[in-house]
Structure 1
Amino acid sequence: MKRWMTLGLVGLVACGESTPPIYEPKDCPDAVESSRPRPVAQSQAVSAGEGEDFIVQYHRTVSAAASTQAAGDAVVRTGGLVRARWSQLGAVAARLTPEVRQKLAKDPQVLAIYPDHPVYAFSNGRPPPVTAGSTAEYTDGLKMVQANAVWDANDDGVLDADAPVGSSIRVCVIDSGWDDRHPELKAAYVGGKDFVDGDDDPRDYDTQAQTWGGGHGTHTAATIVAQLASTGSVNPSEDSAGVVGVAPGVELLVARVLNTQGSGKLSAILSAMEWCQQQGAKLASLSLGSDKSNPLEQDAFQKALNGGMLSIAASGNSGTGDPSTEPGVAFPAAYPSVLAVGAVDFDGEHPSFSQVGAEIALVAPGVDVLSAALTESTAYSLLDVGGARYTSRSLEFAPVGVYEGPLVYCGLGGSRTACGAAATCEGFVAYVDRGGTDSQGEGLTFAKKVTSMRRAGARAVIIGNNDPSDGVGRFTLGTVGSWLPTASVSYQDGEALKKLSATQARMSLVSVDYQRLTGTSMATPHVTGVAALVWSARPSLTAAQVRDILQKSAAPLPRGSAKGSRNDTYGYGLVQAKDALKLLETYP
C-alpha cells in the first residue's frame, strides 16, 4: 500500500566557498535533520492518563438499552472512562486501569472483560452514475469477475439501459477512510463517520500531524464504485483513462476504523457495524482483520446478518504456502456469518500470501490490482541519463519532484562517504546497488541508503536491482518521510549506469492518482461489488440468498474442478457477475 506524501525537493545549503577542495567525510549542512522522516502522530487518545482499552460485557437482566446504560454507569463509578456503548450487545468500550479492571472483574453483573485488540490493514440517494466513459477504464480485475459484461454487454464504454449497476444498494466500506478529493469517489459518497477521531469526517487523514494515510480505504472503495469518465492523473504506461468500479451505481458509506498507520481497534469495528446498519447498508466490505477472535465480535456480525446486512471480509495476507504452518483464515472473515474472500492472480492461481481454510467462500483478483490512490500521493518515474531513457519505478513513499545533476556511483550507499570525492554539496544523482549490510551488520534498507545519500549531498537516488530476473522490482522506503526522489532500475540497466559516472542525469517523479496494490484486501471489494449487482437486480433477496447465488455461480478453481464443489484454497471459486445474474433468472 502506498502511503506517500506530496513533497517538494528539500533544498540543502551549498557548501560555500570556504569548503576545502580536498574531500572530507562530513555531512552537508542541514542534511541530517532534513533526512529524518516526519513524525506521524498517533491517533488522538480518547482520554489522558493511565489505562488500557477493554470491552466490558454485562449480563442483560432488563432491556438491552437500559442494561447497557447501567453497565456504562457502573464502569464510570468504578473509575473507568466509557468510550462507546452497544445496546444490542450489552457491552461498552472503556479505558481501564489495572485497579479498575480488578474491581469490575469482581462485579457479579460483569459477564466478561475483553482486551480491545487491534485490527489491521490486512436521506437522499446518490444521483445516477455517469453512463458513458471509455473501455480503457475496464481493469483486468473488473473483466475477470465479468462486471463489465453485466452492464456493458456490447463493450462500447457506455452503461446499458436498465442493466444492474448496484443502484439503491448501500455499501459500507469499513476501512481507513477515503480521499474526498478523488474524482472517482465523489459522486457515489452518501455519508460517513470516523471511529478513530470520533467525528463525521471519515477522511484518511491525521489532522494533528496534517498527513494523509496510505489510501487503503480509497483503493478498496474505488474497486467497488469508481465512476466512468471521472479520471484523475494517470500513469501513461498503464494505458488507462482511470478505472471504473464493479458496481458504479451503489451508494457509498465510509466508516473509518483504521488510523493513518493502518491499524485500529476492535471497538471501532463494533461501532462501525452498528452504524452501517443504522444507515441502511445492505453490504459491509471489510478489507481488514486480526488473528484474534472475540465472542462479542462474532455476535455483532451474526446480528448484522440476521438484520439483513451481508458482511464480506478478507481472509488475510499471512499465508505461508505450507499446510503445516498455515495460520488459517483471519477474523472477522472466519466467522460463519461472514463471507470470507481469498485472492488469486490474473491467471487464477493462488498466491501464497492469501490465507486459506475451511471458511473460504470465494476468491477474486488480489495481485497487482489497479484502483484509486490518494490524489497526488503516488508517482511514476521518468529517468534520463546522457540523453537516453531508462525504465524505472518510483519507490513507495518517495516524493514527487524533478532533479537534474551529475550521476555519481556510490556503491552500496551504506554511508555518506560511499560516493567518494565526487559527492559535493552542490548536489548530484546518486546511483547505489541494492543489498549489503551496515557497520553493525544489519541489512542496508533503502531508507538507510537514501538517508546516507542525502547526508552526502545527493538530491535524487537511483537503486540498481541485484536480481537479474526481477526487472526494476517493487521497493519501498518503509514509511512516510522527507525522502529524496528515489527510483529503481533493473540489474542490467544498473550495470550500464555504473559506467556513466559524471554523466548528466534527470529524474522526474510525476504524481498519479492510481496505483496497483496486492492483497486479499484488493480481492474483497470485487466480491462486494458483484454482490451489489446481484442485489440491485432483485432487491427482495435476503443476505443469505445473495451469498448463495455468488457461491453457486462461481467459476470453480483449480480449473477442472466440478461446479459447486469447494476447497480450502479457492472456496467455491472465482466470483462471476454475469453467471450470477444468469443464475438469478431461474433462482426461486
Structure 2
Amino acid sequence: MKRWLWIGLGLSGLVASGCGTEVPPGGDILPQACPGTAEAALPAPAVSALRTDTADGVIITYKPKVSASALAASADIVKAVEREGGTVLRRVPTLNMVAARLSPEALTTLKLNPDVLSVTPNRRVYAMGLPTPPPLVSWQGTLIPQGSVGEYTDGLKLVQAPQVWDANSDGVIDPGAPTGEGVKVCVIDSGWDSKHPELMGAFVKGKDFVDNDDDPSDQTVSQGVVTVGGGHGTHVSATILAQFGAGSGGRVGPGQDPNGVVGVAPGASLLVARVLDTEGGGSTVDVIAAVEWCHEQGAQVASLSLGAPDPSETEQAMFDKVWDGGKGMLSVAASGNDGKKGVAYPAGYLPSVMAVGAVDLKGEYAPFSQFGQELSVVAPGVNVLSATVLGAAALSSVDVGSAPVTSSPLTYTAQGTYTGRLVNCGLGADRAACGEQATCEGFVAYVDRGDLFFEEKARNVIQAGARAVIIGNNVAEDGDGTFTLGSANSHWVPTVSVSMASGAALKQLEGREVTVTTTGLDYQRESGTSMATPHVSGVAALVFSARPDLSAAHVRAVLEKTALDDKATPGVDDKYGHGLVQAAKAVELARTLPQGGGPLPLP
C-alpha cells in the first residue's frame, strides 16, 4: 500500500514516503509518477483527427506564361511568395498551382499580384472510416491460384466478386478469369503496412506526400520516435486486392479463416499514395499531387476513402484533368459519414469522380452514409472484415476468478496478460485518483468513462502504477464500446472497455484478483463509407481486367447500369444511387460491348 507521511508546515518542507510527491500548476499535491512512467515518455493528450481547422496554408493559382515553361512560371510565383516571407509547401506546375503558407498581410499583398488568378484554402481532408466495432502492366506478384472459400468475406460475396474468378466456389481461381491482373489501382489514403502478407505481392510503387519520401508506410518518425497510424489505408487496400491464400500464419479472430481474407480483385497491382497523417488528416494540395502521381504511374483506378465537407475548385481541376473527358483514370471516392444529404468532396465532383455510399451486410442503407443526387453506387460499409497493420487489432478478455466479463480492447492497447488487485480509480482525473490502494508494484485500474480523453485517463493511472486498465462505459446503449488510446506508444498497458452494467458489477469487486488479457490480430472489422469505396474500386479493376480497351467513362457506366436496384425505392435515388455494385453482372455486360466500348451503355 502506498502511504504518504507529511513533514513540515510549508510546501517546500513536504516529504513523502512511497512514490514521492509532485506539486502541479494547480497547486494540488500528487504522488510522484512510478519509475519508468515519466510524463515525457507518454503521449500528450490527443487532439481529435476531426479537428476544426480547414486549411493548411493556401493554394495559389497563377497565370501561365506563353513564353515560359510550366516550371519557369511556377518558379516566378514561388519567388513572389518568398519575397513576402511565405513558405512554399508544394508545387503543381501542370495546373499552375503553388501551395504556400503566408501571413495575412503577405497574403493580401500577393492577391494584388497581376499574375495571381485565385487564392483558395488548402483545406483539410479526412479519412472516411468510422471508429472500429483500416498504362497496362503485367502484375508484379505471384497470384496464388488456390486459397479457401473461408477468405470470401460477406462484403466480397455481396458484390459478387467470387462469381467472377471462382464461379464454382471451390477456392481455386478459374483459368482465364479476370482477377484485376494487368490493372494498377492507386490507393490514396494513410499509407500501408509493407510487412502485411496480404499486400506484399501486389505492391508496385509508392510515394509519401506527408513525409515527402518514397516510403508510404502508415507511420511517421520524428526525433527517433515512431508513431504508427490506425491502419486505414491497409484495410482499404486489402479490401481491393488482398492476396488469395496469403494470410496463412497470420493472427485472425475467432471464427475467421486462418488464411485471412481475399480482395475483390486479387490480381490487381497496388500503387500507394500516402496523404493522410497518423491522425487521419491531410491537405488538399497533397491530394491534388497524389492524384497526378497516380495518373503518371499508369493507374486506371484511384481509390479515395477520404474527403472534406466543402468543394475545392483547384482539387476538382486535377480530377477533371486525369478523367480527361472519360478517357483517363477512374476516381472512386467515399460519400462521407455524416448521414446527411449532400456528399463530401472529392466524391461530389461530377462526372470525374464516382461517389460511393454504404450499405450494411444485408444490403440496407447505412444510416451514417451521406447521400444525394451525386451518389453513383453503394457497397458494403458496415463491419467490413479486412487486413490492418500487423498486430494493431486485438482481442481481449477480463476474468474475475472463473467468471469472464465481456470486453473490447481499446485501439492501440498494449498486448499481454496481467493479474492483479482491482482498484477503483474513479474518472482517472490524475495520479491521486486511485487513492492509497495504488502501488508502484502494480494493480488493475478500473476507470469510469467521462470528462477526459481515454489516453489521459490511462496515462494517469499508469503513472500511479497500473499494469492493466478497465474502462467502464457510461452509456448503456453502447455496450462495451469501441474506444481508442489515440496513438501507439510503448508505455501503454493492456487496456479494455466493458459495458455500463459490467462496470457497475466490477466496482463492487474492488480488491479482488482480476486478469486482463489482450492479444494482437492482423485483421479487423471497420465501418464507414471508407470501407464501401474499395469494394467499388475493386469491381472497377475487374471490369478493366476483363476489357482493358474500355475507357473510364465506359467502366463507370457499366458499374451503374448493372448495380442492383434497392426494392424500397426502384430506380436511381439519393440513398442508393444506381444501387449495389455487382461484379459478375458488370463483367458480363462489359464483355458484350464492341471494341473500344462503343456508345456508353445507358442506365
TM class, shorter-length? 0.7 to 0.9
Tell me which of 98, 104, 107 is aligned to 1:101: 107
Q: What amino acid is aligned across from residue 210 of structure 1 in structure 2?
A: V
Deviations 1:204-224 (A, max 9, x none): 121223222221111111110
SS in structure 2 at match of 1:483:
coil
Residue number in structure 1 paired with 2:161: 147
**In structure 1, what is the Cα distance between the partners aligned to 2:383 and 2:535?**
13
Deviation at 1:577, TM superposition (A): 0.8
Residue number in structure 2 paired with 1:46: none
Deviation at 1:169, TM superposition (A): 0.4
**In structure 2, what is the Cα distance between the partners aligned to 1:87 and 1:265?**
18
Q: Alpha carbons of 1:293 and 1:401: their partners in 2 closer, same or farther (altered >3 Å)?
A: same
Q: What amino acid is aligned across from residue 457 of structure 2 in structure 1?
A: K
Residue number in structure 1 paired with 2:538: 529
Tell me if 1:359 matches 2:363. no
SS in structure 2 at match of 1:334:
coil
Q: What amino acid is aligned across from residue 582 of structure 1 in structure 2?
A: E
SS in structure 2 at match of 1:340:
strand
Tell me which of 291, 299, 314 is aligned to 2:334: 314
**In structure 2, what is the Cα distance between the partners aligned to 1:168 and 1:176?**
24
Deviation at 1:290, TM superposition (A): 1.1
Deviations 1:322-341 (A, max 9, x none): xxxx4x21111100011001
SS in structure 1 at match of 2:557:
helix
Residue number in structure 1 paired with 2:50: none
Tell me if 1:400 matches 2:400. no
Unaligned residue ranges in structure 2 (runs of 5+): 6-15, 20-28, 48-54, 129-136, 595-603
Q: What is the 5 A alignment of 1:479-494?
A: 479-481=487-489, 482-494=491-503
Tell me which of 351, 354, 358 is aligned to 1:343: 358
Tell me which of 311, 318, 330 is aligned to 1:293: 311
Residue number in structure 2 paired with 1:193: 207
Deviation at 1:418, TM superposition (A): 4.8
Q: What amino acid is aligned across from residue 311 of structure 2 in structure 1?
A: S
Tell me which of 571, 574, 586 is aligned to 2:580: 574
Residue number in structure 2 paired with 1:447: 455
Q: Alpha carbons of 1:449 and 1:302: their partners in 2 closer, same or farther (altered >3 Å)?
A: same
Q: Alpha carbons of 1:417 and 1:105: their partners in 2 closer, same or farther (altered >3 Å)?
A: closer
Tell me if 1:130 matches 2:144. yes
Tell me which of 214, 217, 220 is aligned to 1:203: 217
Q: Alpha carbons of 1:414 and 1:581: their partners in 2 closer, same or farther (altered >3 Å)?
A: same
Tell me if 1:38 matches 2:55. no
- For the 8 Å contact 2:74–2:93, the answer to whether it is kept is no
Q: Alpha carbons of 1:499 and 1:235: their partners in 2 closer, same or farther (altered >3 Å)?
A: farther
**In structure 2, what is the Cα distance between the partners aligned to 1:203 and 1:19?**
44
Residue number in structure 1 paired with 2:280: 262
Q: Alpha carbons of 1:416 and 1:575: their partners in 2 closer, same or farther (altered >3 Å)?
A: same
**In structure 2, what is the Cα distance between the partners aligned to 1:251 and 1:444?**
43
Q: Alpha carbons of 1:470 and 1:103: their partners in 2 closer, same or farther (altered >3 Å)?
A: closer
* Larger displacement relative to structure 2 (331-340 or 123-132): 123-132
Q: Alpha carbons of 1:152 and 1:300: their partners in 2 closer, same or farther (altered >3 Å)?
A: same
Residue number in structure 2 paired with 1:277: 295
Deviation at 1:302, TM superposition (A): 1.0
Unaligned residue ranges in structure 1 (runs of 5+): 1-12, 43-50, 321-325, 436-442
- For the 8 Å contact 2:207–2:216, the answer to whether it is kept is yes
- For the 8 Å contact 1:234–1:240, the answer to whether it is kept is no
**In structure 2, what is the Cα distance between the partners aligned to 1:379 and 1:66?**
53
SS in structure 2 at match of 1:298:
helix
Deviations 1:464-494 (A, max 9, x none): 3344554322222344444331112234444
Q: Alpha carbons of 1:265 and 1:530: their partners in 2 closer, same or farther (altered >3 Å)?
A: same
Q: Alpha carbons of 1:236 and 1:82: their partners in 2 closer, same or farther (altered >3 Å)?
A: closer
Deviation at 1:237, TM superposition (A): 2.0
**In structure 1, what is the Cα distance between the partners aligned to 2:217 and 2:405?**
37
Deviations 1:86-138 (A, max 9, x none): 34322233344445434432222221122222222138641341111112211
- For the 8 Å contact 1:312–1:528, the answer to whether it is kept is yes
Deviations 1:158-200 (A, max 9, x none): 2111111100000011111111111111000000111122221
How many residue pairs are counted as aligned between the two chains? 548
**In structure 1, what is the Cα distance between the partners aligned to 2:439 and 2:221?**
38
Measured on the aligned residues, the alpha-carbon RMSD in Å equals 2.9
* Larger displacement relative to structure 2 (175-184 or 385-394): 385-394
**In structure 1, what is the Cα distance between the partners aligned to 2:45 and 2:218?**
13
- For the 8 Å contact 1:56–1:113, the answer to whether it is kept is yes
**In structure 1, what is the Cα distance between the partners aligned to 2:521 and 2:100?**
42
**In structure 2, what is the Cα distance between the partners aligned to 1:382 and 1:14?**
32
**In structure 2, what is the Cα distance between the partners aligned to 1:474 and 1:35?**
27
Residue number in structure 2 paired with 1:48: none
Tell me if 1:213 matches 2:222. no
Residue number in structure 2 paired with 1:70: 73
SS in structure 2 at match of 1:185:
helix
- For the 8 Å contact 1:189–1:253, the answer to whether it is kept is yes
Relative contact order (C-alpha < 8 Å, sep 6+): which is higher? 1
Residue number in structure 2 paired with 1:26: 31
Residue number in structure 1 paired with 2:63: 59
- TM-score w.r.t. length of structure 2: 0.84
* Larger displacement relative to structure 2 (545-554 or 27-36): 27-36
Deviation at 1:419, TM superposition (A): 4.3
Deviation at 1:555, TM superposition (A): 1.0
Q: What amino acid is aligned across from residue 360 of structure 2 in structure 1?
A: D
Q: What amino acid is aligned across from residue 257 of structure 2 in structure 1?
A: S
Deviation at 1:289, TM superposition (A): 1.0
Deviation at 1:500, TM superposition (A): 3.3
SS in structure 2 at match of 1:474:
coil
SS in structure 1 at match of 2:533:
helix
Q: Alpha carbons of 1:456 and 1:545: their partners in 2 closer, same or farther (altered >3 Å)?
A: same
Q: Alpha carbons of 1:580 and 1:453: their partners in 2 closer, same or farther (altered >3 Å)?
A: same
Q: Alpha carbons of 1:571 and 1:505: their partners in 2 closer, same or farther (altered >3 Å)?
A: same
- For the 8 Å contact 2:422–2:511, the answer to whether it is kept is yes
Deviations 1:297-328 (A, max 9, x none): 112111111151000001112224xxxxx4x2
- For the 8 Å contact 2:241–2:266, the answer to whether it is kept is yes
**In structure 2, what is the Cα distance between the partners aligned to 1:148 and 1:390?**
38
- For the 8 Å contact 2:3–2:18, the answer to whether it is kept is no
Residue number in structure 1 paired with 2:484: 476
Q: Alpha carbons of 1:444 and 1:93: their partners in 2 closer, same or farther (altered >3 Å)?
A: closer
**In structure 1, what is the Cα distance between the partners aligned to 2:478 and 2:220?**
36
